[in-house]
Amino acid sequence: MSGETSYTLAQVHRFKENGSTIISITNRKQCTLANISDYNLTYYATAERIGQTDVTTQLPVVYLLERLAKEMYRLLGRTEDGNDRKGR
């Protein structure tokens, strides 16, 4: 969520070195992950913690992923029942 996790950033750098297109979803537009990504979707949710535990909602991320998946499915010519537009 922060876009600053060292493990994630290291993996992204490896993917970029291999020519991958990076799409990220972050909670802040001005973070390292957003800056090095080719495309970034930013959502804004207030960080919540209970003690040391991060309990910030991840519902915006789930929503974005679901909408993107449905749109890609539509663009590829599939209906929600798994058939193509001709019923196959």
What's residue 3's pLDDT? 80
Tell me, yes or no, whether 86 lies in a domain: no
**Domains in the chain, number:** 1
Confidence of residue 79 (pLDDT cuts 50, 70, 90): low
Alpha carbons within 13 A on the beta-carbon side of 78: 10
In a domain, 52, yes or no: yes
Residue 84 lies in a domain: no
Structure confidence at residue 54 (pLDDT)? 84
> Do the domain assignments include residue 59?
yes
Would you say residue 88 lies in a domain? no
The average pLDDT across 54-65 equals 89
Domain, as residue range, for 64: 6-75
- The verdict on residue 1 lying in a domain is no
Residue 44 has pLDDT above 60, yes or no: yes
Q: What is the pTM of this model?
A: 0.69
